[in-house]
């Protein structure tokens, strides 16, 4: 991800760590990948969206 695009997404100047993280997230999205945070969010969404799932 170009520096200008990273700064635009972050709302201002960014350092190398933020640029690396934004590239990481963009690569995950491009490959339809999931990381641990995504798995947790999906589990929470499933539990919130299906009351019967909690009962099981």
Domain extent for 45: 3-55
Whole-number pLDDT of residue 40: 96
Task: Determine the Cα–Cα distance for residues 17 and 23; give it in Å rounded to an integer.
Answer: 10
Average pLDDT, rounded, for the chain:
84
Of residues 14 and 30, more confidently modeled:
30
**pLDDT grade for 2, boundaries at 50, 70 and 90:** low
Mean pLDDT of 15-26: 88
The number of distinct structural domains making up the chain is: 1
Whole-number pLDDT of residue 55: 75
DSSP H helices in the chain = 3-10, 16-30, 36-49, 51-55
Q: What's 29's DSSP letter?
A: H
0.75 exceeded by pTM? no
């Amino acid at each position: 991800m170009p520096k200008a695009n990273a700064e635009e997404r972050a709302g201002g100047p960014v350092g190398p760590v933020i640029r690396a993280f934004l590239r990481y997230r963009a690569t995950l999205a491009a490959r339809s990948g999931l990381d641990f945070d995504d798995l947790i969010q999906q589990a929470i969404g499933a539990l919130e969206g299906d009351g019967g799932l909690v009962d099981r």
